[in-house]
Amino acid sequence: MNSHKGTAFTGTVAKPPNTPKPPRLSSLKNITLKEMNPIEDKPYDGCVLEVRIIDWAYVVKGIAGIIEDENGDLQR
């Protein structure tokens, strides 16, 4: 019989596994929309894209929004 009456969780992990710390923002390479391939779905590891939100996200068949990068290029 369970000695922990009223406990919702059984068999929990005492200490979560170690996860790596995220990289420092200063160590990332700045990229722009022109440097990204909109046809290819790939991660840009080690890069950061700084944008301004032009139009907030809305739901169509997915989530869409409009952003502008530091060069003034727009992406939907």
What confidence tens digit (pLDDT) does each residue in 34-73 have?
999 889 999 998 999 999 988 877 777 777 888 899 999 8
Specify if 5 maps to a domain: no
pLDDT(12) > 70: no
| CA dist., res. 74 & res. 2, Å (int) | 59
Specify if 18 maps to a domain: no
| CA dist., res. 30 & res. 17, Å (int) | 31
Range of the domain at 68: 25-75
Specify if 57 maps to a domain: yes
Other Cβ atoms within 10 Å of 38 Cβ, number: 8
Q: Tell me if 72 sits within 8 A of 52, measured CB to CB.
A: no
pLDDT(28) > 90: yes
pTM value is: 0.58
Specify if 12 maps to a domain: no
Specify if 3 maps to a domain: no
Specify if 36 maps to a domain: yes
Specify if 16 maps to a domain: no
* Domain total in the chain: 1
